[in-house]
């Protein structure tokens, strides 16, 4: 059971981060999604997306992201199990 995912997602400017975040939060099993803009140039936006739920389905998430013209660049964090283990460590 995947409980929490942090994804590094590259996407075009259009559709915007609102559309993507709404679509991700509508996936079955997702309690909520928060997207932060990391960087952008004229072509693409690099975003950091955090998704929480009871039983996340990465394939569904990937389908939504690709349907919007984006791609998952890396999985930066994942929490599985009966409880979400906190780890305050931050990469410097």
Interface with its own copies, residue 52, by CB under 8 A: yes
Q: Which of 9, 10, 35, 65 binds its own copies (CB under 8 A)?
A: 35
The SS3 assignment for 21 reads helix
Interface with its own copies, residue 14, by CB under 8 A: no
- With 0-12 / 13-18 / 19 or more C-beta atoms within 10 angstroms meaning exposed / middle / buried, residue 61 is buried
Radius of gyration of the chain (CA): 13
Smallest distance from its own copies to CB 66, Å: 16
The total of other beta-carbon atoms located within 10 Å of residue 35's CB is 22
Rule CB under 8 A: which residues touch its own copies?
A: 1-4, 6, 16-18, 21-22, 24-25, 30-38, 40, 48, 50-52, 58, 74-87, 89-91
């Amino acid at each position: 059971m995947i409980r929490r995912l942090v994804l590094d997602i590259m996407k075009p400017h259009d559709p915007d981060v609102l559309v993507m975040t709404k679509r991700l939060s509508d996936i079955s099993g997702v309690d909520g999604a928060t997207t932060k803009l990391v960087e952008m140039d004229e072509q693409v936006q690099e975003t950091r997306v955090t998704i929480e739920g009871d039983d996340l389905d990465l394939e569904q998430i990937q389908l939504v992201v690709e349907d919007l013209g984006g791609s998952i660049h890396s999985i930066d964090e994942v929490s599985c199990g009966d409880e979400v283990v906190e780890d305050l460590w931050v990469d410097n």
